[in-house]
Structures are given as structure tokens and as C-alpha cells.
């Protein structure tokens, strides 16, 4: 346990990619400061993030963007790398190189999935509003729902099955299980109708998500004000027009 709390830098009003780091820290009971959610009088707000970007700060390697984690002189950016660094310090990944590599590989696959989720509402440009790319988003989301959700979730279901059914890596809960929970929750929020079609097939993955939600640290976090709600500013957005059509499945 570190003497000083970790400093997490992420946008203060969304779950986003920072949520995967928050879940690890909350589950582990590791002390951290969610810097941009502190009041500006305590050095918080978005300004806390911006000080590190664009070549301003001279602490470590400049991050390309949030989330990043500061611990003493170390500044680590990129969600999957932050998690890979934190996990062995908090028992959030089984011991040994093979387990760490497997967890990281799965987390990087989740990284790829998140980029595709973001593209469903921003297929043309992140700098445009959703409203300015709605027709393209509908096309993109249809392919994502019908092709990519099954491809990714079936993959995680197979990995779970090959590993005995309860954990994605090794014989204990790891940060990848927490991340899988977040992905299932996010997809359920953004594509509830599409996800319902998979309920019978993905029994292990959905059961894993249920178990994660009941872990003491996670349950307490989810019930707290620290857990921000999903919203239409985040990665997982509930735009009904991007979900599967209502009515009988085509």
C-alpha cells in the first residue's frame, strides 16, 4: 500500500477509459485521488489534466491524453499500461509472467473494442458532434451490433470457458474480470436490445459480470457517488436509434 495516494487524471464527468483504472483501485481498496474531480481550489478540475498535456509539464513522459496515473516521479498513460503496472502491486492479477501477459493481452483487446464502440457514434470525426454524423453512425452501429459485438463477446466467453468458467485469467479475480464487467455494463447501457439477444449464449460472461458487481469493493463503489452514471458524453452512449430495431429479430 503506498504511503501517498495515487493521483488519477481523467475527465471528471464521465466514466470513459478512466473507469477501468477506478475499478481496479476501488476493488483493491487502494487510496487514490481522482484529481480532476477535486475542486479547483485544491488543484482539481480539468486544469489539473491540462497541465500535463501539450508539453507543459516536465514530469516524466508527456501523455498523449488522459487517463494517466501519477505516483511520485512516475507518470503512466494509456489505460492498459496503467492497469498492467498497478495490478501486481495490489494482487489484481495472478502471479507470474504468463498470467500478466494474458491479462494484458485481454485488456488490449478491450482497448480495441472501446475504440470501435466510440466509432459507432463518432464514425467520421471525434471533433464533430454526434448530431453531425448521425446517418453514418447508424450504418456503423448496425455493423458493430451484428458483427463486432458477437465476435468480441463470443471470444471472451470462449476464453472464460477454456479457463474453467469463472475467471478470465488464472484462478482468481483479476483486473481483466473487472474490465469485462465494465464492458458488459456499457454494452447493456448502449445496446440493450442487441445485448438481450446474446443472453442465452454468453452465460459465463454475464455471470462473471454479476459476480464482479457483488465484490465488496465494487458493490460499495457502485453505490457511492464516486461512480459516475453512464451518459451521452462517454464511450457507451444510449442512442436508441443505434441499437437493434424493436420487434421480432430479422
Q: Is 243 in the site for its own copies (CB under 8 A)?
A: no
Contacts of 196 (CB under 8 A, 6+ apart): none
Q: Is 199 in the site for its own copies (CB under 8 A)?
A: no
Contacts of 61 (CB under 8 A, 6+ apart): 75, 77
Q: Return the number of the residue (54 or 248) whose C-beta is nearest its own copies.
A: 54
CB of 111 to its own copies, least distance (A): 8
CB of 60 to its own copies, least distance (A): 8
Per-residue buried b or exposed e for 118-145, using 16+ beta carbons within 10 Å of the residue's own CB: bbbbbbeeeeeeeeebeebbeebbbebb
Q: Which residues pair with 77 in a beta bridge?
A: 68
By CB under 8 A, name the one of 47, 101, 233, 240 that touches its own copies: 101
- By the 8 A CB rule, do 175 and 91 touch? no
Distance CA 220, CA 217 (A): 5
CB of 40 to its own copies, least distance (A): 26
CB of 57 to its own copies, least distance (A): 10
Distance CA 93, CA 194 (A): 31
CB of 217 to its own copies, least distance (A): 26
Q: Is 159 in the site for its own copies (CB under 8 A)?
A: yes
Q: Is 108 in the site for its own copies (CB under 8 A)?
A: yes
| Rg from Cα positions in the chain | 18
CB of 80 to its own copies, least distance (A): 7
Q: Among candidates 27, 20, 25, which has minimal Cα distance to 5?
A: 25
Residue 29 vs residues 2, 5, 23, 72, 201: alpha-carbon distances, Å: 11, 11, 10, 19, 33
Footprint (CB under 8 A) of its own copies, residues 20-59: 54-55, 58
By CB under 8 A, name the one of 16, 18, 123, 234 that touches its own copies: 123
Q: Which residues bind its own copies (CB under 8 A)?
A: 54-55, 58, 60-64, 74, 76-78, 80-81, 85, 98, 101-102, 104-106, 108-109, 111-112, 115, 119, 123-125, 127-128, 136, 139-140, 143-144, 147, 152, 155, 158-159, 162
Amino acid at each position: 500500500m503506498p504511503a501517498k495516494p495515487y493521483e488519477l487524471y481523467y475527465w471528471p464527468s464521465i466514466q470513459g477509459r478512466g473507469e477501468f483504472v477506478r475499478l481496479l483501485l476501488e476493488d483493491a481498496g487502494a487510496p487514490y485521488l481522482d484529481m480532476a474531480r477535486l475542486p479547483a481550489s485544491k488543484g482539481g478540475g480539468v486544469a489539473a489534466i491540462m497541465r500535463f498535456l501539450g508539453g507543459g509539464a516536465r514530469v516524466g513522459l508527456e501523455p498523449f491524453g488522459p487517463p494517466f496515473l501519477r505516483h511520485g516521479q512516475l507518470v503512466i498513460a494509456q489505460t492498459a499500461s496503467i492497469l498492467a503496472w498497478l495490478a501486481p502491486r495490489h494482487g489484481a492479477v495472478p502471479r507470474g509472467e504468463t498470467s500478466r501477459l494474458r491479462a494484458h493481452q485481454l485488456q488490449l483487446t478491450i482497448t480495441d473494442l472501446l475504440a470501435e464502440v466510440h466509432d459507432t457514434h463518432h464514425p467520421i470525426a471525434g471533433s464533430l458532434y454526434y448530431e453531425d454524423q448521425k446517418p453514418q453512425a447508424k450504418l456503423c452501429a448496425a455493423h458493430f451490433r451484428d458483427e463486432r459485438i458477437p465476435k468480441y463477446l463470443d471470444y471472451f466467453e470462449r476464453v472464460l470457458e477454456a479457463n474453467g468458467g469463472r475467471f478470465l485469467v488464472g484462478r482468481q479475480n483479476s483486473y481483466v474480470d473487472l474490465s469485462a464487467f465494465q464492458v458488459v455494463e456499457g454494452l447493456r447501457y448502449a445496446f440493450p436490445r442487441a445485448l438481450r439477444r446474446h443472453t442465452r449464449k454468453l452465460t459465463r460472461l454475464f455471470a462473471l459480470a454479476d459476480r464482479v458487481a457483488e465484490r465488496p469493493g465494487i458493490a460499495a463503489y457502485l453505490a457511492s457517488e464516486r461512480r459516475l452514471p453512464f451518459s451521452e458524453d462517454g464511450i457507451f452512449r444510449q442512442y436508441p436509434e443505434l441499437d437493434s430495431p424493436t420487434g421480432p429479430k430479422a
